[in-house]
Amino acid sequence: MVRSVSLDITVRYYTAQALFDLAYGDDTAFLRSFHKEVNACDVRVSPWGADNKRTVAFTTPVDAPAFIKRLVGKDVMAVEEAQLREALPGGGWRLTSRPVPDMPGGARFVTEAVLTFTDAAGGCCQVAAAVTCSASGPYGLAGTIEAFMADSAGNSLKEFLDFLLKFAQAPAAAAPAAASPAPEAAAVAAGALPAAPAPAAESAEHFYDAAELPLPPLPAVPAVPAVVPSGDGLRFEDAALLYLRYMCRTGDQTVGLLQALELHVRSLQEKVAALQAAEEDRRRQRRWLPEIPDTVSTRQAVLGAALLASGAAAGALLFARRQQAAGRGA
């Protein structure tokens, strides 16, 4: 399942051409500054070819779960990024980036980033970025890796766009953009538009930017070891096999727990059935007894039985006396 992440920013005071030249032009100062600050590494950038392609090589730390680190085999991974630039018909640029990690089976993990630079209202540049991630591998492993890749790609894309915005607004980077003439200024210089009248000398005012306050120093970035000995010889197939064994062992434990739970439930059902059968037998044995309402107390039941007995005795005595009287009359 392919996963995607999309972000966009707006950079003021830059045209699409100027911002694209700043980020991906022949001057690689932006890419070098970005990788030095984010990945704490140097970067090698090849010049643009006639086919509008070039490669960027750098290293990046692997911040991933333990089983993915075993899959990669190292904590610092080399990456070779292939870049392709395309000029848009309506103006602007599109850059396609495909980084490939230097690891066994690295081609199975595909990440593609597409950044589009277009002019926006107010002399701004709109940058729309989208990253898609996909991975191939055993069932149950590819989805986990794709989720990690999408999360890492989203964080990296946000870091890249934030750094681009900060780098573009820096005074050193803003100077070339300010030096490039606006379309109206170029038209005036070419004579197509009349020049604006010069203001009077006595009313001329000049404004200057205030000196920027010094920023606090950035915290030192700890050096990342270039080589980690553990797990260097682990292949992709071995890592996948270890993960599948872990899943199978966990599945066997789950099946065992479910079977024990089934036996326990079956035992409870048998006990409930035995109690129901005993209660039914008890009811059958007591069917000849008169039913007494639950609301009658023991004392009331005894009094009622005594009244019934005395009534029966009085009836029997009366019947005997009538029989004696009938015998005398005869």
Least confident interval from 63-72, 137-146, 224-233, 268-277: 224-233
Sheet strand arrangement including 44-45: 3-11, 124-135, 109-120, 93-101, 76-87, 53-61, 44-45
Question: What residues pair up with 117 in beta bridges, in sequence order?
Answer: 93, 127
Q: What's the confidence (pLDDT) of residue 88?
A: 95
pLDDT digit string, tens, across residues 3-46: 888 999 999 989 999 999 999 999 889 999 998 888 778 889 99
Q: Where are the beta strands (DSSP E) in the chain?
A: 3-11, 44-45, 53-61, 76-87, 93-101, 109-120, 124-135
pLDDT digit string, tens, across residues 67-92: 555 655 666 778 889 999 999 998 99
Residue 229 has pLDDT above 50, yes or no: no
**pTM confidence score:** 0.51
User: How many C-alpha atoms does 63 have within 13 Å on its Cβ side?
Assistant: 10
| Average pLDDT score over residue span 243-268 | 72
